[in-house]
Structure 1
Amino acid sequence: MNLKETDLPGIGKKFVVETKSGDKLAIIIHDDGRREVFHYDRDDHDEINSLVTLNDDEARYVSAIIGGITYKPTALENIEVALGDLIIEWYRLDPQYKAIGKTIGDLRIRQRSGATIIAVIEKNHSKHINPGPDLLLTSDALVVVLGERLHQQQIRQILLSGIS
């Protein structure tokens, strides 16, 4: 995702978002609280396909829905399963993750975070159940981790930073 923020003197702020899927949105937040959301054509980012205008209350309500406050989807990449204090989370190793190209052992994940990688699903769908320390983490792999919330925060940082 790519985000650009621009001040609009006398009007408010403009945010332009380009998603991984190729969509482009522009969101203008007016000083009076009104929001305008523009959705651009995928093939021509100068052509507007649709415009939605929301007042402040509507915008906050829609943001809560999109943010998952009213409903949490169970998509594979985002699912959390509560097991008492234990949580299973899935992390997609997008290209910005520095752990790519390192092994589980290199990163000392269990020792540093207290979390356990219980599975790794490669981009080609090959599965490594209860992987050992020699498993190399690859781009776009899905890493399934078991741990408490603090452990999950720590492992996310380890996967992002790749520091061993």
Structure 2
Amino acid sequence: MQIERVPLPGIGVGYTMHTSEGQVLGVVCHRNGRRDVVVYAPGDPDTVERSVTLSPAEAQEMAELLHPIATIDHVTHLERHREAISVAELPVPAASPYDGRTLAEAVARTQGVSVIAVIRDGHTLTAPGSGHVLAHGDVLIAAGGQQGIGELSRALVHTDP
């Protein structure tokens, strides 16, 4: 797939792509963080058929819905004995099967991982209980072996828990 990037002086940057069905879609990234999702008219890539304006937060949520990926952000200054233990930040994306489910359900299939904190809306809950209900946008602070942290990260984004 090819994505074209075009600078838009005084506005920001525009991106366009062609779908496999021949539709032309675009995103206009304004300098203030606003995003416009654009659908161009069939056969006329200069005519906007429809557009939707998203705030920066809405654009982030939409991106998570369209592409939930397992991302592990290691907290390197907290890691000790790299071979034995890692500490990582694991986001709960909007499309997570554990959005609205308990922490116990999320960690049930992982070995040797403890969630030592949950960050929600800028507030940190340390030592959350197993009954703590997760929500998209939460960031889990997990400690454990690298394999277990990877398993938990993947579980948070898969649609079949």
TM-score, reference length from structure 2: 0.52
What CA deviation, in whole Å up to 9, does each residue of 1:37-79 have, x standing for no partner? xx96527979xxxxxxxxxxxxxxxxxxxxxxxxxxxxxx834
Q: In the TM superposition, what is the alpha-carbon distance from 1:106 to its structure 2 partner? A: 2.4
Deviations 1:85-128, CA, capped at 9 Å, x for gaps: 21111012221222111001223x155332110100112x3322
Q: 2: distance between equivalents of 1:26 and 1:98?
A: 30
SS of equivalent to 1:112:
coil
Structure 2 counterpart SS, 1:144: strand
Query: How many angstroms does 1:161 deviate by?
Result: 2.4
Partner of 1:158: 155
Distance change (3 Å), C-alpha of 1:90 and 1:26 = same
Cα distance change, pair 26–103 in 1 and its aligned pair in 2 (3 A): same
| Match of residue 147 from structure 1 | 144
- Unaligned runs of 5+ residues in structure 2 are 6-11, 17-26, 39-71
The alpha-carbon distance between structure 1 residues 25 and 147, as it changes in their structure 2 partners (threshold 3 A), is farther
Question: Does the CA-based 8 Å contact 2:102-2:130 persist in structure 1?
Answer: yes
CA distance 1:137–1:41, change in 2 (3 Å):
closer
How much identity, in percent, do the aligned residues show? 12
Amino acid at match of 1:94: P
The answer to whether the 8 Å contact 1:110/1:116 transfers is: no
Q: How many residues align?
A: 105
Q: Which amino acid aligns with 2:89?
A: W
Partner of 2:101: 102
Unaligned runs of 5+ in 1: 6-12, 17-22, 28-38, 47-76
Distance 1:14-1:146 versus aligned 2 partners, 3 A rule: same
Using a 3 Å threshold, how does the CA distance of structure 1 residues 83 and 105 change in structure 2: closer, same or farther? same
Q: Structure 2 matches for 1:80-159, cutoff 5 A?
A: 80-81=75-76, 82-84=79-81, 85=83, 86-107=85-106, 109=107, 112-123=110-121, 125-159=122-156
Amino acid at match of 2:80: L
Shift of 1:153: 1.1
Does the residue aligned with 2:89 lie in a helix, a strand or coil? strand
> Structure 1 15/97 Cα, relative in aligned 2: closer, same or farther at 3 Å?
farther
Between the aligned partners of 1:26 and 1:135, the Cα distance in structure 2 is 40
Detail structure 1 runs of 4+ shifted over 3 Å in the superposition.
13-16, 23-27, 43-46
